[in-house]
Amino acid sequence: MQSIDTHNDDVQQVADGESTIDAGRVEDLPDGSCKTIELPAGRELALFRVNGEFYATENSCPHQGARLSQGILCEHVIECDLHGWQDWHLRLQNG
């Protein structure tokens, strides 16, 4: 899981040549909510805020590919909206 610097106001180049993605303002993502972040090449991240901490994961359920950003967030567990599937892979603290 990639850490997110919530105190950096500038979008800048990272040392290894990858670019930083602007995910928006911290105050625009309320606690207990999720936001979809579009990446290059059509990929997406689901960005979650839980108890003041930020977590990002692929926006695709590893079971059947549904968007995790449309799932149900219960503390640090995401339940897939497609059919309620949960697994340790979806626990935010595990990445």
- Cα–Cα distance measured from residue 20 to residue 9, given in angstroms and rounded to the nearest whole number: 11
Which residue, chain included where needed, has tokens 């850490």? Answer: 3
- Evaluate whether residue 6 is within a structural domain: no
Domain that holds residue 55: 26-94
- Evaluate whether residue 1 is within a structural domain: no
- Evaluate whether residue 20 is within a structural domain: no
- Cα–Cα distance measured from residue 18 to residue 27, given in angstroms and rounded to the nearest whole number: 26
**What is the per-residue pLDDT across 20-79, written as a single tens digit (0 to 9) for each?**
888 889 999 999 999 999 988 889 999 999 989 998 888 988 878 889 899 888 888 888
CATH number of the domain to which 32 belongs = 2.102.10.10
- Evaluate whether residue 71 is within a structural domain: yes
- Cα–Cα distance measured from residue 7 to residue 26, given in angstroms and rounded to the nearest whole number: 9
**Band (13; pLDDT cuts 50, 70, 90):** very low
- Evaluate whether residue 5 is within a structural domain: no
- Evaluate whether residue 8 is within a structural domain: no
Tally the domains of the chain.
Answer: 1
The predicted pLDDT at position 1 comes to 41
